[in-house]
Amino acid sequence: MERLKTARNVLIVAAIAAGVKFLPEAERALETFVAALWVAFGIGIAYLGLRLYRENRVALHGLGDRHRGMLYAALAGVVFLLTARSRMWNTGIGELLWFALAALAVYALLATYRYWRSY
């Protein structure tokens, strides 16, 4: 029974792949579907961030303004570095700047972590 279920699933995937390959305008539908998946992934990451913030609100406010600002700036810097990597690595000075910003973000995260663990 399990073999038939696996074979059925393989045939379904093969039929979808054939439809995307051979039907006109199927690529556009596929791109729309992939975009919707990325939006759902982003919403999931945002929800995870919201949950983490709500669960650790007291610890975050206990850091103080300076270290909390460093933490938020470092997280925003990491998001920026992840999104800008392909463009920045295409230029000579951009790659160097990317690594400098990455080092700065890591330093800010480590400084915040060390301060958090100090008391």
Tens of pLDDT along the chain (119 residues) come to: 777 888 898 999 898 888 777 877 777 878 888 899 999 999 999 999 999 999 989 988 888 899 999 999 999 999 999 998 888 888 888 889 999 999 999 999 999 999 988 86
Task: Tell me which residue range forms the domain holding 101.
Answer: 64-119
Query: What's the whole-model pTM score?
Result: 0.66
Choosing from 35, 55, 75, the residue where a domain stops is: 55
Place of tokens 């979808």: 16
Residues 50 and 70 in one domain: no
Residues 47 and 78 in one domain: no
Place of tokens 């579907």: 33
Instruction: Show the CA angle centred on residue 10, arms to residues 4 and 15, nearest 5°.
Output: 125
Q: Are 71 and 109 in contact (CB under 8 A)?
A: yes
